[in-house]
């Protein structure tokens, strides 16, 4: 496996990201970057990003969560941010992403995890949870899903899947801008492009949409169905913070609220924003999270 590593110089001008770097090397030699902010003795909140972002997405939320008494862990998925990037699309599978993140959690020896999931953060995070439900205390789900392939995805997702696979140009920051309601500054655009200095670095981002189970023939369809079997018994607190302008995950909050017992009695919110609601309303989301943790 050919492994690429974005040079540190690519990140030297990143704004509003004063957080210390931490790294863990997986069993197959991949260096995974993560943030670890706040008092190590405080309750843990795990922030999982998706496609094609990185932990930079959480920069406005982390200070609020830390001030609210949380220890914040925010990893970069393999292929993203400051984590290593296998150069071939075939190096990436849904199962490998789960394994890579599980190794990071094991390394950190995290217990009673409060998990925030968005986009692919949910596809990975909910599999981590359902494999070890006793390790998790709460879930906040935002614009995410756990697809089994039994329902046809919305056309917006199929179009995105086709674009990622076939477009000659794959500009990561443009993708982010198209899926936010706020106008991203040049500095923020530069931060989202920074992890990907060449097309070869984008293999993980290019292939991610194709790894989403869209039919029941998908290799992870059955495993996601088993995971739903655990989620339908999950009675610990589960909060939905979905946005009002995301054509890909629209209605996903209703699915969770219908099927997951832990959603009952929670103060679910609809956030004004696009798919990347952390960009559009990060501080608002973090405040809702602190209220949720204080209540539960």
Active-site positions read: 119, 246, 275
Residues 6+ apart with CB under 8 A from 50: 118, 119, 120, 121, 122, 144
Q: Which two tokens stand for residue 265?
A: 């009695």
Number of Cβ atoms within 10 Å of the Cβ of 185? 10
Q: Which two tokens stand for residue 96?
A: 């490998």
Q: What is the 3-state secondary structure of 43-66?
A: CEEEEECCCCCCHHHHCCCHHHHH
Q: What is the 3-state secondary structure of the chain?
A: CCEECCCHHHHCCCCCCCCCCEEEECCCCCEEEEEEECCCCCCEEEEECCCCCCHHHHCCCHHHHHHCCCEEEEECCCCCCCCCEECCHHHCCHHHHHHHHHHHHHHHCCCCEEEEEEEHHHHHHHHHHHHCHHHEEEEEEEEECCCCCCCCCCHHHHHHHHHHHHCCCCCHHHHHHHCCCCCCCHHHHHHHHCCCCCHHHHHHHHHHHHHCCCCCCCCCHHHHHHHHHHHCCCCCCEEEEEECCCCCCCCHHHHHHHHCHHHCCCCCEEECCCCCHHHHHHHHHHHHHHHHHHHC
Q: Which two tokens stand for residue 193?
A: 């492009």
């Amino acid at each position: 496996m050919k492994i690429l590593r974005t040079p540190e110089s690519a990140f030297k001008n990143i704004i509003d990201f004063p957080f210390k770097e931490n790294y863990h090397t997986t069993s197959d030699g991949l260096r995974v970057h993560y943030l670890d902010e706040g008092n190590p003795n405080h309750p843990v909140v795990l922030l999982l990003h998706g496609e094609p972002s990185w932990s930079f997405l959480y920069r406005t939320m982390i200070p609020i969560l830390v001030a609210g008494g949380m220890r914040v862990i925010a990893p970069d998925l393999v292929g993203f941010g400051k984590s290593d990037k296998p150069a071939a699309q075939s190096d990436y599978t849904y199962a490998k992403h789960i394994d890579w993140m599980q190794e990071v959690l094991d390394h950190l020896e995290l217990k009673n995890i409060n998990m925030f999931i968005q986009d692919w953060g949910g596809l990975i995070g909910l599999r981590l949870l359902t494999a070890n439900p006793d390790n998790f205390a709460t879930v906040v789900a935002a614009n995410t899903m756990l697809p089994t392939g039994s329902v046809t995805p919305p056309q917006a997702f199929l179009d995105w899947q086709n674009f990622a696979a076939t477009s000659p140009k794959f500009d990561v920051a443009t993708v982010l801008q198209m899926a936010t309601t706020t106008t991203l500054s040049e500095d923020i655009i530069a931060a989202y492009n920074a992890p990907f200095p060449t097309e070869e670095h984008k293999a993980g981002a290019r292939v991610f949409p194709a790894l989403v189970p869209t039919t029941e023939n998908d290799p992870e369809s059955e495993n996601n169905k088993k995971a739903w079997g655990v989620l339908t018994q999950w009675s610990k607190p589960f909060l939905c913070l979905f946005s009002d302008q995301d054509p890909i995950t629209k209605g996903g909050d209703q699915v969770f609220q219908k099927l997951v017992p832990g959603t009952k009695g929670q103060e679910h919110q609809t956030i004004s924003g696009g798919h990347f609601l952390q960009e559009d309303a990060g501080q608002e989301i973090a405040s809702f999270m602190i209220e949720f943790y204080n209540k539960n």
